[in-house]
């Protein structure tokens, strides 16, 4: 007789494949193996199976006895992999992620795989090809037209061959340029092993005392889980710490994974890493083609890729020889996936590092309050960099009170004079406005009509559509709806339609007229849609005097050595938001964008325009810095019972009308009953009740103890799928939501 707490092993003849399919259902599906009893070696392999009238590709999650007997089970079509793609630590960590987010395991597995592999295509080979200059190309390179793609490609190859993945990261449209140069005999295609895939490593600067202490702490933590918060002011040389820690990791024959928040940061970091490390550095981000992403993933799975730099989804990269994980700008909200499987890449990186037994380094000049709290409690080692690297000094800060002052495109004359002085001195200027578009509202001056999105609404009214394309197009920034600007007011027929307020497009237009003798470039999501467009814009800007107008995209990690003045305009909206994280986001954004100034030998200045110069947030930041603000904000969060002193989960539901989601969430609340240690708020309309034509309702769960929250969710999630009301709505669970919208 087996022990009472043991699980009998099913007889080999009754073992079947238990498959996790990419479906929103929290269960496994049983299939008979085509080769007789299911082999446990298939766990983690992809399998093609029939599902209703179609075929799906899933992952074998288990091999065991069928849940309802073997009779009537359908047979799997084929096991697609000779060896498990998801194995060891990654397989276990993904199962943890499914449990923590209360998400279907099949959808989690699908999220972790590149799209090529999700479709069932074979794991690609990682033999790569490279391009290099011929002798004729070396001689003819300088004769190519400056700035053209062939010239850019030839310049990229001037110091050695580059593999095709590296070229895709650095030269936009390189394939057409390569064909043109190859026909002329100026470049040739060779196996990557015969070309220099990375330049000879160049030595880095000597680390200062604080950097050296941080590097030593990482080196001492080799081959053990050690979470560390690298808390350094902007320009303090955090990237240098990353580089030296990665170099030590490579010297030990291990892999390093580096996460960055934005695709725009990837080319700059890749170039610096390749120059310093002397090994191929692989990129993983959404701008890559399916084949490229699958090849990098396969190279990491085989242990061939030693350094991987990527955005949020790169956290799922296999790391069979892991040595270090780095999360740059760890505070950034883009690490949180806001649809599908709502995971946080920063938090999952910590989970993976613990399972792998390697150090994980979280770097930021403005750490999240959760990370600061964990460092205060001793859960993370707290590594501080208080001063800027080299001779760079922190910028001076000046607040401009613009109450009762005339403004041109939202800019005061005092600020325009400061910009003119900075440009005359040969410096560059950054105008920061975190609102893209031409103007936030289109208004009829005669009757007061405004252009609203008919598919989205706030509690007060419909959501205003933003004016784009110099006043010719309206766009909703919530659902993406677009329509042309009407020729006349739809209500009164007047021709008095006027854009109200200022976005980056309008500021760019005004500054281009006001400072006609210098270049004015706009950097926002609208101007950087094309691949590598941000890098091309910044490269073209160079070090000449000029003006950058941009949104928060420019606040993240970009190094602009000739930037001497940062002008911050239009931050007042964030000072009075109902979102409990709003002040944290504003403080981080201000400190990050201010940190772009004065990063080299020239002193920098930050001018901040506001109608609320005495606001406590601004005063605290100016007088005490980010950590003074963080201390005050943490005290307020603790008093209010908000994270990190409580743990939240948001149950959302939506439908064409408000009744079905409300009924579903009322039923969910009934299932929760009096869950021990969990407070329930709702069902209530979302802060934006209607979005993209759907009525949105939510139920908030809050608990002081994380285990209480998850115990409640464990008890109800399987039953939620069975509710009759669930069939009438689209619903989701967001554990640890970043906002409540």
Please say which residue of 500, 520, 540 terminates a domain.
Answer: 500
User: Omega before 583 cis (within 30°)?
Assistant: no
Residue 32 gets which letter from DSSP? B
How would you label 411-427 residue by residue, b for 16+ Cβ within 10 Å and e otherwise?
bbeebbebbeebbeeeb
Residues 246 and 381 sit within 8 Å (Cβ to Cβ): no
Rg, the chain, Cα only = 28
Residue 365 sits in the same domain as residue 255: yes
Q: Output the average pLDDT for the chain.
A: 87
Contacts of 79 (CB under 8 A, 6+ apart): 33, 42, 45, 46, 47, 60
Contacts of 692 (CB under 8 A, 6+ apart): 455, 456, 478, 479, 480, 481
- In 10 A of CB 669, how many CB atoms? 18
Of the three residues 590, 605, 638, the one that is the final residue of a domain is 638
In this structure, of 185-189, 264-268, 634-638, 691-695, the range with the lowest mean pLDDT score is 264-268
- Based on the fold, state whether residues 215 and 337 are members of the same structural domain: yes
266 and 407 in one domain?
no
Pick from 148-157, 266-275, 564-573, 688-697: least confident: 266-275
Angstrom distance (rounded) from CA 174 to CA 164:
9
Mean pLDDT of 72-92: 94
Mean pLDDT of 185-194: 76
Count of helix runs (H) and strand runs (E) in the chain: 21, 34
Q: How far apart are CA 528 and CA 434, in angstroms?
A: 15
Any idea which of 169-173, 215-219, 488-492, 649-653 has the lowest mean pLDDT? 169-173
Residue recorded with tokens 């963080």:
630
Beta strands at 307-310 and 255-259: parallel, antiparallel or unpaired:
parallel
Long-range contacts of 632-637 (CB under 8 A, 24+ apart): 633/369, 633/583, 633/584, 633/587, 634/369, 634/372, 634/373, 637/369, 637/580
Q: Copy the structure tokens of residue 465.
A: 């559509």
Partners of residue 226 on adjacent β-strands = 359
Decide which of 152 and 117 is more confident.
117
The end-to-end CA distance of the chain, in Å, is 55
How far is residue 382 CA from its own chain's centroid? 24
Indicate whether 531 and 597 sit together in one domain: yes
Contacts of 454 (CB under 8 A, 6+ apart): 462, 481
673/550 same-domain check:
no
Task: Specify whether 227 is located in the same domain as 315.
Answer: yes
Q: Residue 494 — φ and ψ, nearest 5°? A: -70, 160
pLDDT in tens, 495-545: 888 888 888 888 999 999 999 999 988 887 766 666 566 666 766 677 789
Domain at 540, CATH number = 3.40.50.300
Strand order across the beta sheet in which 462-464 lies: 462-464, 452-457, 678-691, 694-703, 647-655, 730-735
Same domain, yes or no: 235 and 357: yes
Clarify whether residues 582 and 518 are in a common domain.
Answer: yes
Per-residue pLDDT tens over the stretch 339-395: 899 999 999 999 999 999 999 999 999 999 999 999 999 999 999 998 877 666 778
Decide if 651 is inside a domain: yes
Residues in the chain: 741
Q: Which stretches of 157-237 are DSSP H helices?
A: 164-170, 174-183, 209-220
Interval 617-642 mean pLDDT: 93
Report the interhelical angle of 626-640 vs 582-594 (nearest 10°).
170
Locus of tokens 């700035």: 147
In a shared domain, residues 549 and 583: yes
- Judgement on whether residues 404 and 552 belong to the same structural domain of the protein: yes
Please name the residue ranges forming H helices in 302-407.
345-356, 369-376
Which of 57-71, 336-350, 540-554 has the weakest average pLDDT?
540-554
Q: What is the pLDDT of residues 255-311, one digit of tens each?
A: 999 999 987 666 677 778 888 888 888 888 887 788 889 999 999 999 989 999 999
Of the candidates 355, 356, 170, the residue with the CA atom closest to the CA atom of residue 255: 356
C-alpha span between 257 and 93 (Å, rounded): 16
Can you tell me the mean pLDDT for 626-633?
95
27: CATH: 3.40.1440.60
Q: Enter the tokens of residue 652.
A: 């959302």
Q: Which residues of 437-450 are buried (b: 16+ CB within 10 A; e: fewer)?
A: bbbbebbbeeeebe
Range list of H helices, 559-658:
582-594, 616-624, 626-640
Share of the chain above pLDDT 90, in %: 50
Token pair for residue 32? 């008979």
Do 325 and 179 share a structural domain?
no
Is pLDDT at 695 greater than 60 in this prediction? yes
Lowest mean pLDDT among 1-5, 170-174, 338-342, 571-575: 1-5
Alpha helices in 595-701 (DSSP H): 616-624, 626-640, 659-672
Decide which of 599, 620, 638 is a domain's last residue: 638
The domain total for the chain is 6
pLDDT at 36: 74
The sign of the torsion formed by the CA atoms of 695, 700, 706, 710 equals negative
Shared domain for 425 and 530, answered yes or no, is yes
Q: Give residue 237's domain range.
A: 209-385
> Which pLDDT value is given to residue 4?
39
Q: What is the mean pLDDT of residues 414-434?
A: 91
């Amino acid at each position: 007789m087996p022990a009472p707490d043991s699980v009998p092993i099913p007889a080999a003849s009754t073992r079947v494949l238990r498959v996790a399919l990419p479906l929103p259902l929290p269960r496994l599906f049983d299939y008979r193996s085509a080769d007789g009893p299911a082999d446990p070696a298939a766990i983690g392999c992809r399998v093609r199976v029939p599902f209703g009238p179609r075929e799906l590709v899933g992952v074998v999650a288990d091999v065991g006895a069928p849940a309802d007997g073997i009779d009537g089970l359908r047979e799997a079509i084929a096991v697609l992999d000779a060896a498990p793609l998801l194995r060891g630590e990654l397989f276990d960590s993904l199962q943890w992620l499914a449990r923590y987010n209360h998400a279907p395991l099949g959808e989690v597995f699908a999220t972790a795989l590149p799209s090529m592999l999700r479709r069932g295509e074979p794991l690609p080979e990682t033999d790569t090809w490279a391009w290099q200059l011929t002798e004729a190309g070396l001689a003819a390179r300088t004769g190519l037209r400056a700035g053209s793609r062939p010239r850019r490609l030839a310049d990229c190859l001037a110091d050695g061959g580059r593999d095709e993945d590296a070229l895709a990261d650095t030269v936009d449209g390189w394939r057409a340029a390569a064909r043109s140069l190859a026909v002329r005999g100026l470049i040739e295609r060779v196996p990557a092993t015969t070309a220099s895939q990375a330049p000879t490593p160049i030595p880095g600067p000597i680390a200062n005392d604080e950097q050296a202490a941080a590097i030593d702490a990482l080196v001492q933590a080799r081959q053990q889980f050690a979470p560390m918060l690298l808390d350094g002011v902007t320009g303090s040389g955090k990237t240098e710490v990353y580089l030296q820690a990665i170099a030590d990791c490579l010297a030990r024959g291990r892999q390093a994974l580096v996460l960055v928040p934005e695709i725009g940061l990837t080319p700059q970091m890749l170039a610096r890493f390749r120059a310093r490390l002397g090994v191929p550095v692989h990129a993983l981000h959404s701008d890559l083609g399916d084949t490229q992403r699958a090849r990098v993933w396969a190279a990491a799975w085989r242990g061939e890729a030693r350094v991987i730099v990527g955005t949020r989804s790169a956290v799922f990269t296999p790391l069979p020889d892991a040595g270090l994980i780095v999360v740059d700008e760890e505070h950034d909200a883009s690490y949180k996936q806001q649809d599908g499987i709502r995971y946080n890449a920063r938090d999952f990186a910590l989970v993976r590092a613990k399972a792998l037994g390697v150090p994980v380094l979280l770097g930021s000049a403005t750490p999240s309050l959760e990370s600061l709290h964990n460092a205060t409690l001793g859960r993370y080692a707290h590594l501080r960099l208080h001063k800027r690297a080299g001779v760079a000094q922190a910028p001076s800060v000046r607040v401009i009170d613009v109450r009762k002052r005339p403004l041109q495109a939202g800019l005061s004359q005092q600020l325009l004079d400061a910009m003119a002085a900075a440009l005359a001195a040969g410096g560059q200027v950054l105008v920061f406005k975190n609102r893209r578009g031409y103007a936030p509202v289109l208004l009829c001056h005669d009757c007061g009509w405004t252009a609203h999105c008919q598919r989205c609404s706030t509690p007060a009214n419909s959501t205003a559509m933003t004016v784009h394309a110099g006043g010719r197009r309206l766009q909703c920034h919530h659902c993406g709806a677009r329509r042309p600007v009407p020729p006349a007011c739809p209500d009164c027929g007047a021709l008095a339609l006027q854009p109200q307020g200022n976005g980056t497009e309008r500021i760019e237009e005004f500054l281009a007229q006001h400072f006609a003798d210098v270049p004015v470039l706009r950097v926002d999501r609208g101007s950087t849609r094309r691949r590598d467009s941000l890098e091309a814009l910044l490269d073209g800007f160079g070090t000449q005097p000029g003006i950058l107008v941009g949104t928060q995209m420019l606040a993240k990690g970009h190094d602009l050595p000739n930037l001497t003045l940062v002008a911050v305009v239009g931050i007042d909206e964030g000072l009075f938001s109902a979102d409990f994280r709003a002040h944290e986001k504003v403080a981080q954004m201000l400190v990050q964008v201010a940190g772009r100034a004065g990063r080299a030998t020239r002193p920098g200045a930050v001018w901040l325009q506001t109608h609320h110069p005495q606001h406590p947030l601004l005063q605290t930041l100016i007088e005490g810095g980010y950590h003074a603000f963080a201390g005050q904000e943490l005290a307020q969060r603790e008093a209010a019972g908000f994270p990190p002193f409580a743990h939240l989960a948001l149950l959302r539901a939506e439908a064409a009308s408000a009744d079905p989601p409300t009924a579903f969430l009322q039923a969910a609340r009934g299932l929760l009953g009096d869950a021990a240690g969990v407070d329930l708020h709702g069902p209530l309309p979302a802060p934006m009740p209607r979005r993209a034509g759907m009525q949105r309702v939510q139920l908030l769960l809050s608990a002081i103890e994380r285990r209480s929250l998850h115990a409640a969710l464990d008890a109800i999630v399987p039953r939620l799928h069975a509710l009759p009301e669930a069939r009438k709505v689209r619903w989701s669970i967001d554990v640890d939501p970043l906002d409540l919208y």
